[in-house]
Structure 1
């Protein structure tokens, strides 16, 4: 995981400055008891329809999900292969890549990758994966154009985190040809 002090962060309240203070009133009964009563929104958050900037909303996909398995463990290989097939059958609209039977790129063990393109797909697939990933670990990361930060500081893990070869991503970033204006 990347040291958070390496990065800068926009204020979480950006776009919500100078508003009236929120009330401290809470629900007193029922299943929502003790939760705050929130003011009604003027409109639904745009995050329901598209990923927050700078996450890509295009052809690359907003998020990559890497599902890892130990290539020397027959039961994990069998589970990963079956999970791969199930994902392709149940979520045909997602981009599902081949099952790698060895380490590839910054990934130090075997894996396969799934891309999601919309918040709706993310909202359906990630809870499904929480329940169905079995003994496998999964890395969920956004695609913002900063591969190092996406695979580290912005990453979320299900299961046991796998140490990535982040140095490879750093070298690739340094080797990228510079374009006009950069």
Structure 2
């Protein structure tokens, strides 16, 4: 995980200040008892239709889901390959990559990846995976263009977190920055 003090955070109330005061009234009966009475909605949040900025809304998925398994444990290998097939059959609209039987990039053990492009896909797939992932761990992270932060501070884990090789991501970023600086120095745009 990342040290939260490495990052800055915009106030959650940015753009929402100055509204009517919220009521302290609580619902007293029924399944919503003890919850607060909220303002009557006038419009739905835009995040029902597209991911919140700065999460990608385009050809690169808004969220990646990495599903990990121990490649040396036959039961986990079998479970992972069966889960991979089930996801492809039940969620054919999702982009799913091959099952890697070894570490790849910052991922220190075997895994496969599923991409989620819409809040609707996220809302359907993530709860399904909570129930169906069995003994496997899964990393759910947004794609905002900040790969290190996305894989650490903004990451959500199901099951046991797997320590990622975050240094690998930092090396890629440094290489990209050096290439950009070299291009600018040579007069390329």
TM over 0.5: yes
Instruction: Determine the structure 1 residue equivalent to 2:72.
Output: 72
* CA distance in 1: counterparts of 2:40 and 2:67, whole angstroms: 39
Q: Secondary structure at the match of 1:169?
A: helix
Instruction: Determine the structure 2 residue equivalent to 1:39.
Output: 39
C-alpha displacement of 1:18:
1.1
Instruction: Determine the structure 2 residue equivalent to 1:3.
Output: 3
Instruction: Determine the structure 1 residue equivalent to 2:62.
Output: 62
Q: Secondary structure at the match of 1:40?
A: coil
Question: Quick check: 1:159 aligned with 2:167?
Answer: no
Q: Secondary structure at the match of 1:107?
A: coil
Instruction: Determine the structure 2 residue equivalent to 1:139.
Output: 139
Give runs of ≥4 in structure 1 deviating > 3 Å: none
* CA distance in 2: counterparts of 1:81 and 1:19, whole angstroms: 51
* CA distance in 1: counterparts of 2:31 and 2:40, whole angstroms: 19
C-alpha displacement of 1:125:
0.2
C-alpha displacement of 1:21:
1.5
* CA distance in 2: counterparts of 1:31 and 1:41, whole angstroms: 20
Residues 33-78 of structure 1, C-alpha deviations (whole Å, 9 max, x = no match) = 0000100122100000000000000001100000000000000000
Task: Give TM-score scaled by structure 2 length.
Answer: 0.94
Instruction: Determine the structure 1 residue equivalent to 2:187.
Output: none
C-alpha displacement of 1:20:
2.0
C-alpha displacement of 1:99:
0.1
* CA distance in 2: counterparts of 1:103 and 1:11, whole angstroms: 38
Instruction: Determine the structure 1 residue equivalent to 2:173.
Output: 173
Instruction: Determine the structure 2 residue equivalent to 1:14.
Output: 14
Bigger helix fraction: 2
Q: Secondary structure at the match of 1:100?
A: coil
- List alignment gaps of at least 5 residues for structure 2: 185-189
Question: Quick check: 1:115 aligned with 2:115?
Answer: yes
Point out the structure with max Rg over C-alpha. Answer: 2
Q: Secondary structure at the match of 2:102?
A: coil
Q: Secondary structure at the match of 1:10?
A: coil
Paired residues, number? 180
Task: Give TM-score scaled by structure 1 length.
Answer: 0.97
Residues 119-169 of structure 1, C-alpha deviations (whole Å, 9 max, x = no match) = 000000000000000000000000000000000000000000000000000
Residues 4-41 of structure 1, C-alpha deviations (whole Å, 9 max, x = no match) = 00000110001101112101000000111000010012
* CA distance in 2: counterparts of 1:20 and 1:85, whole angstroms: 50
Instruction: Determine the structure 1 residue equivalent to 2:92.
Output: 92
